[in-house]
Amino acid sequence: MNWRIKGLTQKVLSAAPGGIVLNTRMQAALGGLRNFDKAMAAKVDEWILSMKYLEAAGISVRGARILEIGTGWYPVLPICFVLAGAESVVTVDIVPHLTEAGMYRLLRTLEAHIPSIAEITGLTPAIISNRLELIVNQPNLAAILRSSGIEYRAPEDAGNIELEPNSIDIIYSNSVLEHVHRKALGDIMRESLRILKPGGIVMHNVACNDHYAHFDKSISYVNYLRYSEAKWRLWNNSLQFQNRLRASEFLQSAQDAGLEIIARRTHVSPGTHEAIRTMTIAPEFRGFSEADLVTTTIDFLARKGTGNEAS
Ligand SMILES: C[S@@+](CC[C@H](N)C(=O)[O-])C[C@H]1O[C@@H](n2cnc3c(N)ncnc32)[C@H](O)[C@@H]1O
């Protein structure tokens, strides 16, 4: 589908009553969720990558209190963290997308991933299978959440969360920060600092690329950098808002809040260097380095100080 048609359709839906639900149905029929099992397998892989980042930083999820920003439709990562032994996961979303049917569908799909979940956690497949079975056998969504130690809060803004200061070990988001306004990003980082325990960690996986390129193969992952802010407003929409912030700006916003970056990994999608060199970039982006412009995903970890750091 041509990206402009998608953009305009989402713009119309975002203004229509029931537009959010209709957009979800269209995603299931025509969009990235057409192959549900494949989409869930990709989310499990993203969780495994997150586990590797945490392991490399010497952080264990066993017994951890975790906060997820941006639950979305299918809470693969919260369920996987629970299966791995997290004490609890609070997951917040500004829009209440989660449904009971969606949760059961996801849980049934996860059965195929028991071996890989077991492998990354160091637990036996039997333990993971028993934990999953206990959750799947619950009679409804509320019971599933209760039995798994997941607290789902929606609508709730991650920039203003009802949690005690110094109460959470790990805060993470997956494919969320590229969708929040610049000011909201700062609010989220400051709120994270407040809620984290001293020494606690934030981990964000950010797809800072043009999401219209995910289904329109005729454009590059940096196509949106052609447009001035005024022109981009015509193509942007509130159902899938894209802030176009570059990788360095996500790191900077964490640092501005007082978090210390401890790890980062960036990726450049094939063809992006060629695209950026041959297109006219909007004035807003001309001050960025080429490395920053072409970065299409950034994953990073940042730590809250303990107060005992050597100065
Ligand atoms: C692209 S979805 C990603 C969902 C999920 N993390 C995943 O990987 O499938 C982004 C989600 O972030 C949520 N979101 C956006 N801004 C938010 C905010 N300020 N606070 C909480 N959730 C937010 C959206 O409503 C949406 O559900």
Residue-level pLDDT at 32: 58
CB-side neighbour CA atoms (13 Å) of 131: 20
Span from the CA of 211 to the centroid of ligand 1 (angstroms): 14
**Dihedral over Cα of 229, 70, 107, 81: its sign:** positive
DSSP 3-state assignment of 229? helix
Task: Name the residue range of residue 253's domain.
Answer: 1-34+170-305
pLDDT along the chain (311 residues), means of 10: 84 76 67 81 98 97 98 98 98 96 96 98 98 98 98 98 98 98 98 98 98 94 97 92 98 98 98 96 97 98 91 60
Q: Is residue 165 part of a domain?
A: no
Residue-level pLDDT at 311: 60
Q: Which among 77, 176, 192, 239 is the best mutation to test ligand 1's pocket, defined by most ligand atoms within 8 Å of the CB? A: 176
DSSP 3-state assignment of 245? coil
11/75 same-domain check: no
179 lines ligand 1 (CB under 6 A): yes
210/259 same-domain check: yes
Span from the CA of 173 to the centroid of ligand 1 (angstroms): 8
22/99 same-domain check: no
Q: What are the DSSP calls for 117-150, one per residue?
A: HHHHHT--HHHHHHHHHHHHTSSSHHHHHHHHTE
79 lines ligand 1 (CB under 6 A): no
- Helix ranges (H only) for the chain are 3-15, 19-30, 36-56, 76-83, 100-110, 114-121, 125-136, 141-148, 182-195, 229-235, 247-257, 272-278, 290-294
Q: Is residue 311 part of a domain?
A: no
Span from the CA of 206 to the centroid of ligand 1 (angstroms): 11
21/109 same-domain check: no
Number of structural domains (the chain) is 2
Q: Which among 40, 94, 239 is the best mutation to test ligand 1's pocket, defined by most ligand atoms within 8 Å of the CB? A: 94
DSSP state of 224: G
| Residue 41 burial class via C-beta count within 10 angstroms: exposed 0-12, middle 13-18, buried 19 and up | middle
Residues belonging to the chain: 311
Residue-level pLDDT at 7: 83
Q: What are the DSSP calls for 42-91, one per residue?
A: HHHHHHHHHHHHHHHTT---TT-EEEEE---S--HHHHHHHHTT-SEEEE
DSSP state of 41: H
Residue-level pLDDT at 92: 98
Residue-level pLDDT at 61: 98
CATH number, position 252? 3.40.50
108/64 same-domain check: yes
Atom of ligand 1 nearest to the CA of 74: 9
**pLDDT tens string 207-243:** 999 999 998 999 999 999 999 999 999 999 988 899 9
Q: Is residue 161 part of a domain?
A: no
67 lines ligand 1 (CB under 6 A): no
What does the alpha-carbon distance between residue 171 and residue 91 come to, in Å, rounded to a whole number?
A: 10
175 lines ligand 1 (CB under 6 A): yes
Domain end position, chosen among 121, 156, 191: 156
Q: Is residue 130 part of a domain?
A: yes
Atom of ligand 1 nearest to the CA of 173: 6
